[in-house]
Amino acid sequence: MRITLIIGLFLIVTGIIAYLTIPLYFPGYSTVSSQLKQNHKVLTLRPEESRIITQLSIGNNSSAVIVVTNESRVNVSIEGASGHTFQEQGEASVSLPAGYYNVSLINTTNSTQTVSLTYGVFNAQFISNFYYNLQVLETILEFIIVIGIGIVGWQILTKIFSRRK
Protein backbone atom coordinates (compact mmCIF):
# COMPACT_ATOMS: atom_id res chain seq x y z
CA MET A 1 0.00 0.00 0.00
CA ARG A 2 2.76 2.43 0.91
CA ILE A 3 4.70 1.70 -2.31
CA THR A 4 1.58 2.37 -4.38
CA LEU A 5 1.13 5.75 -2.70
CA ILE A 6 4.78 6.60 -3.41
CA ILE A 7 4.34 5.60 -7.06
CA GLY A 8 1.25 7.82 -7.34
CA LEU A 9 3.04 10.80 -5.78
CA PHE A 10 6.05 10.17 -8.02
CA LEU A 11 3.81 10.24 -11.12
CA ILE A 12 2.14 13.46 -10.01
CA VAL A 13 5.40 15.28 -9.22
CA THR A 14 7.23 13.99 -12.31
CA GLY A 15 4.30 14.86 -14.58
CA ILE A 16 3.96 18.38 -13.19
CA ILE A 17 7.70 19.07 -13.41
CA ALA A 18 7.87 17.73 -16.97
CA TYR A 19 4.80 19.82 -17.95
CA LEU A 20 6.15 23.03 -16.45
CA THR A 21 9.57 22.62 -18.04
CA ILE A 22 8.35 21.93 -21.60
CA PRO A 23 9.81 25.26 -22.82
CA LEU A 24 13.27 24.11 -21.71
CA TYR A 25 13.45 20.85 -23.64
CA PHE A 26 10.81 20.75 -26.36
CA PRO A 27 12.42 21.07 -29.83
CA GLY A 28 11.65 24.39 -31.53
CA TYR A 29 9.92 25.93 -28.50
CA SER A 30 12.50 28.68 -28.09
CA THR A 31 12.37 29.51 -31.82
CA VAL A 32 8.60 29.91 -31.85
CA SER A 33 8.54 31.73 -28.52
CA SER A 34 11.26 34.23 -29.47
CA GLN A 35 9.59 35.11 -32.79
CA LEU A 36 6.23 35.62 -31.11
CA LYS A 37 7.87 37.79 -28.40
CA GLN A 38 9.69 39.85 -31.06
CA ASN A 39 6.41 40.64 -32.78
CA HIS A 40 4.33 41.58 -29.73
CA LYS A 41 2.36 44.83 -30.00
CA VAL A 42 -0.33 46.69 -28.09
CA LEU A 43 -2.67 48.81 -30.21
CA THR A 44 -5.72 50.94 -29.56
CA LEU A 45 -8.36 50.74 -32.29
CA ARG A 46 -11.20 53.22 -32.57
CA PRO A 47 -14.70 51.93 -33.38
CA GLU A 48 -14.90 50.39 -36.88
CA GLU A 49 -11.17 51.10 -37.44
CA SER A 50 -8.96 48.86 -39.55
CA ARG A 51 -5.18 49.01 -39.16
CA ILE A 52 -2.39 47.19 -40.99
CA ILE A 53 -0.05 45.69 -38.38
CA THR A 54 2.53 44.29 -40.78
CA GLN A 55 3.28 43.66 -44.43
CA LEU A 56 4.73 40.27 -45.29
CA SER A 57 6.64 38.89 -48.22
CA ILE A 58 6.36 35.10 -48.40
CA GLY A 59 9.02 33.32 -50.45
CA ASN A 60 8.70 30.14 -52.50
CA ASN A 61 8.33 27.91 -49.44
CA SER A 62 4.84 27.64 -48.04
CA SER A 63 4.67 29.65 -44.84
CA ALA A 64 2.13 29.88 -42.09
CA VAL A 65 1.18 33.17 -40.48
CA ILE A 66 -0.10 33.01 -36.93
CA VAL A 67 -1.74 36.04 -35.32
CA VAL A 68 -3.10 35.88 -31.78
CA THR A 69 -4.98 38.70 -30.06
CA ASN A 70 -6.40 39.06 -26.57
CA GLU A 71 -9.72 40.36 -27.87
CA SER A 72 -12.05 38.00 -29.70
CA ARG A 73 -14.23 40.88 -30.98
CA VAL A 74 -11.34 42.11 -33.15
CA ASN A 75 -11.03 40.50 -36.56
CA VAL A 76 -7.66 39.47 -37.97
CA SER A 77 -7.48 39.91 -41.74
CA ILE A 78 -4.74 38.65 -44.06
CA GLU A 79 -5.07 40.07 -47.55
CA GLY A 80 -2.92 39.11 -50.52
CA ALA A 81 -2.02 41.16 -53.60
CA SER A 82 -4.36 38.92 -55.59
CA GLY A 83 -7.24 40.19 -53.47
CA HIS A 84 -7.58 36.92 -51.54
CA THR A 85 -8.66 37.70 -47.98
CA PHE A 86 -8.58 35.44 -44.95
CA GLN A 87 -10.44 36.72 -41.90
CA GLU A 88 -10.97 35.24 -38.43
CA GLN A 89 -12.05 36.60 -35.06
CA GLY A 90 -9.42 36.79 -32.33
CA GLU A 91 -6.90 34.37 -33.77
CA ALA A 92 -5.72 33.43 -37.25
CA SER A 93 -3.48 30.69 -38.47
CA VAL A 94 -3.20 30.18 -42.20
CA SER A 95 -0.76 28.62 -44.63
CA LEU A 96 0.06 31.05 -47.44
CA PRO A 97 1.59 30.57 -50.87
CA ALA A 98 4.34 32.88 -52.14
CA GLY A 99 3.29 36.52 -52.40
CA TYR A 100 2.85 39.81 -50.59
CA TYR A 101 0.34 40.15 -47.77
CA ASN A 102 -1.06 42.78 -45.43
CA VAL A 103 -2.02 41.61 -41.96
CA SER A 104 -4.66 43.87 -40.43
CA LEU A 105 -6.81 44.15 -37.33
CA ILE A 106 -10.40 45.29 -37.70
CA ASN A 107 -12.42 46.58 -34.76
CA THR A 108 -16.01 45.64 -35.58
CA THR A 109 -17.47 47.03 -32.37
CA ASN A 110 -18.85 50.46 -31.55
CA SER A 111 -16.28 51.03 -28.81
CA THR A 112 -12.56 51.66 -28.67
CA GLN A 113 -10.58 48.44 -28.16
CA THR A 114 -7.07 48.06 -26.75
CA VAL A 115 -5.62 44.94 -28.32
CA SER A 116 -2.53 43.02 -27.27
CA LEU A 117 -1.33 40.87 -30.15
CA THR A 118 1.55 38.79 -31.34
CA TYR A 119 2.30 37.27 -34.71
CA GLY A 120 4.86 35.08 -36.39
CA VAL A 121 5.76 33.72 -39.80
CA PHE A 122 6.93 30.11 -39.81
CA ASN A 123 7.47 27.30 -42.27
CA ALA A 124 4.01 25.75 -42.55
CA GLN A 125 5.22 22.16 -42.12
CA PHE A 126 7.39 23.07 -39.12
CA ILE A 127 4.67 24.95 -37.23
CA SER A 128 2.06 22.30 -37.96
CA ASN A 129 4.34 19.55 -36.64
CA PHE A 130 5.40 21.72 -33.70
CA TYR A 131 1.86 22.31 -32.43
CA TYR A 132 0.76 18.74 -33.13
CA ASN A 133 3.69 17.24 -31.21
CA LEU A 134 3.31 19.77 -28.40
CA GLN A 135 -0.35 18.77 -27.99
CA VAL A 136 0.58 15.08 -27.94
CA LEU A 137 3.25 15.67 -25.28
CA GLU A 138 0.92 17.81 -23.14
CA THR A 139 -1.81 15.15 -23.36
CA ILE A 140 0.59 12.38 -22.31
CA LEU A 141 1.85 14.43 -19.35
CA GLU A 142 -1.70 15.31 -18.28
CA PHE A 143 -2.59 11.61 -18.47
CA ILE A 144 0.39 10.71 -16.26
CA ILE A 145 -0.66 13.36 -13.71
CA VAL A 146 -4.26 12.08 -13.69
CA ILE A 147 -3.08 8.48 -13.22
CA GLY A 148 -0.96 9.63 -10.26
CA ILE A 149 -3.92 11.50 -8.77
CA GLY A 150 -6.10 8.42 -9.26
CA ILE A 151 -3.58 6.16 -7.51
CA VAL A 152 -3.18 8.55 -4.58
CA GLY A 153 -6.94 9.07 -4.35
CA TRP A 154 -7.56 5.32 -4.39
CA GLN A 155 -5.00 4.79 -1.64
CA ILE A 156 -6.54 7.53 0.52
CA LEU A 157 -10.06 6.14 0.06
CA THR A 158 -8.85 2.60 0.78
CA LYS A 159 -7.18 3.81 3.99
CA ILE A 160 -10.32 5.72 5.10
CA PHE A 161 -12.72 2.82 4.47
CA SER A 162 -10.39 0.20 5.97
CA ARG A 163 -10.37 2.15 9.28
CA ARG A 164 -14.19 2.14 9.43
CA LYS A 165 -14.37 -1.65 9.56
> Could you report the per-residue pLDDT of 85-129, keeping only the tens digit for each?
777 777 778 888 888 888 888 888 888 888 888 888 888 888 889
Predicted confidence band of residue 7 (pLDDT cuts 50, 70, 90): very high
Helix (H, G, I), strand (E, B) or coil at 140: helix
Residue 150 has pLDDT above 90, yes or no: yes
Q: Which residue has the higher pLDDT, 68 or 72?
A: 68
**Of the spans 41-55, 67-81, 132-146, which averages the highest pLDDT?**
132-146
Nearest of 73, 67, 72, 70 to residue 104 by alpha carbon: 67
Where do the domains of the chain lie, and which CATH numbers do they carry?
2-164 (2.60.120.380)
Q: For the chain, give me the number of helices (H) and strands (E)?
A: 4, 8
Separation between Cα atoms, residue 101 and residue 96, nearest integer Å? 9
HEC secondary structure over 1-51? CHHHHHHHHHHHHHHHHHHHCHHHHCCCHHHHHHHHHHCEEEEEECCCCEE
Separation between Cα atoms, residue 118 and residue 26, nearest integer Å? 21
The pTM assigned to this predicted structure is 0.78
Q: Which residue has the higher pLDDT, 147 or 95?
A: 147
Residue 155 has pLDDT above 90, yes or no: yes
pLDDT at 84: 67
Contacts of 145 (CB under 8 A, 6+ apart): 11, 12, 15, 16, 19
